[in-house]
Structure 1
Amino acid sequence: MADYNTYRTTQRVGTRQAVVDEGLRAYMSKVYGLMAVGMGVTAVAAYGISAAAVDASGQLTQLGTAIYASPLKWVIMFAPLLVVFAFGAAINRLSVSAATMLFYGFAALMGLSISSIFLVYTGTSIVQTFLVTAIAFAGLSLWGYTTKKDISGWGSFLIMGVIGLIVASIVNIFLQSSGMQFAISILGVLIFAGLTAYDTQNIKNTYLQLAGSDRDFLGKTAIMGALQLYLDFLNLFMFLLSFMGNRE
């Protein structure tokens, strides 16, 4: 009888584990899917806006002058940062569909914010840097997902690093130091490489802790996870581009 009860207990545990594993795969697929669509929205928005910003002779159009050569450029530069904070504060009050649309709207705004890269760097170098970023991101995220090592302790150091990068980047807007920009780019790559692995593990652990929770709540956490990985990928790409990209 003891052996039979042990068998039934083991079977139930195995069944629950299988359900969790299946749910985790579906959850992570949703996170990566949302992130990929967001990156697609950003790419289309950035390319479309940059194309509309210059005329056939390569001169800035009225739109290009407004977004690249007027005080509006500062609003465009810092608006995504404000939206991220607002998104995090409002996510619990939004429906899943509204949060998803807000995420895609944010991705389009990011496209506007970074659209100047198509005017500054060659198309070939942008594509090459994107591919390098995609390979690096995939490897780092896979490691973060599969590693048995607890890297939750990285979080506070990485967040402090991000804050330092933001401050240094703002200061260098006025200093225009190429040496400082190179150092910022190197540190940015290292910090967002670490964040990619950290956020992936954190997203996985969040699901394991909340498995069985309200479906809408899990849907919102998936959107926030997609936003985190989206920002990791985009920042990794931008910092790599700053020293790998060939300028026009």
Structure 2
Amino acid sequence: MAEYQTYRAATAGVRTAEIDAGLRAHMNKVYGTMSGGLLITALAAWAIAGLAVTSDINSAAVNSEGFALMLREGQFLTGLGETLYATPLRWVIMFAPLAFIFFGWGALMRRGSAATVQLGFLIFSAVMGLSLSSIFLVFTGASIAQTFLVTAIAFASLSLYGYTTKRDLSGMGTFLIMGVVGLILAMIVNMFLGSAPLMFAISVLGVLIFAGLTAFYTQDIKTTYVSMAHHGDQEWLDKAAYDGALSLYISFLNMFQFLLMFMGQQE
């Protein structure tokens, strides 16, 4: 009997070690995928912004009144820039990522293979680059880089907390996700009001909400893996890694954008 108990303890120990090793690999995949998505977004935004502007008025787009659309002294929109930022297409670009999150991603997770989900994430990252390209037309490159660094430090600290804490964050997550819905509605309303105080309040709340969601999502990714690793469904675990990467990616980008409202400097 004692030998049997020793065998069970040894077997449980081996299984725990396997889950721990699998969890580390899973989290590395999550963070690696997220980092790859951020890189694609940054490169796409930078490249598109570069194509959207010109310093030569002769190369700029000319509107129906015969004037080139100027952003700042010596900088004009090109034909691509006018199409992206001065036509109704800008609303499509703005809301396309939201439509994908609310209506496309869930269907992709349910019906697509792991490879298809990964491709969907990468395409979404590129589209986000298109949506974010305008920040390079508004803020200086130095302030964008500085804000990105601050966001990265804050994100790493919050994610580490979510991974190591013994506190159950699930209740906080539900509350914060409800806060995101309210935040989106407030931003839509402020598009028409143009209120600076309301925009400031939205930015403060946005930073706090997505800071909390970073910790929540990290813990959720960890607990989901531990609970499902026993089933050995590697296809599902791969899809879960991409889903987790998307959640953290969205939290990072939103923190970055809201912090840019405070830290960004215009030329």
Instruction: Answer whether TM exceeds 0.5 for this pair.
Output: yes
Matched AA of 1:181:
M
Partner of 1:42: 41
Give the Cα separation in 1 of the matches to 2:99 and 2:112. Answer: 18
| Identity percentage of aligned residues | 58
CA RMSD of aligned residues (A): 1.0
Matched AA of 1:21:
D
**Residue 233 (1) aligns with residue 232 (2):** no
Partner of 2:50: 51
| Equivalent position SS for 1:59 | strand
Give the Cα separation in 2 of the matches to 1:243 and 1:93. Answer: 41
Instruction: State the shift of 1:99 in Å.
Output: 1.2
Match of residue 67, structure 1, among 78, 84, 87: 84
Give the Cα separation in 2 of the matches to 1:56 and 1:186. Answer: 35
Q: Which has the larger radius of gyration?
A: 2
Q: Number of matched residues?
A: 247
Q: Which gives a bigger RCO, structure 1 or 2 (Cα 8 Å, sep 6+)? A: 1
Q: Which runs of 5+ in 2 are unaligned?
A: 57-74
What are the equivalent positions in structure 2 for 1:194-233 lying under 5 Å apart?
Answer: 194-211=212-229, 212-233=231-252
Q: What are the Cα deviations for residues 221-243 of structure 1, in whole angstroms up to 9, with x where unaligned? A: 11110000000000000000011
**Residue 245 (1) aligns with residue 264 (2):** yes
Instruction: State the shift of 1:7 in Å.
Output: 2.3
**Residue 181 (1) aligns with residue 199 (2):** yes
| Equivalent position SS for 2:76 | coil
| Equivalent position SS for 1:153 | helix
Give the Cα separation in 2 of the matches to 1:60 and 1:187. Answer: 33
| Equivalent position SS for 1:150 | coil
Instruction: State the shift of 1:5 in Å.
Output: 3.0
Give the Cα separation in 2 of the matches to 1:16 and 1:141. Answer: 26
**Residue 83 (1) aligns with residue 100 (2):** yes
TM-score normalised by structure 1 residue count: 0.97
Instruction: State the shift of 1:56 in Å.
Output: 2.3
Matched AA of 1:74:
W
Instruction: State the shift of 1:244 in Å.
Output: 1.1
**Residue 106 (1) aligns with residue 124 (2):** yes
The list of structure 1 runs, each at least 4 consecutive aligned residues, that deviate by more than 4 angstroms after superposition, is none
Instruction: State the shift of 1:8 in Å.
Output: 1.9
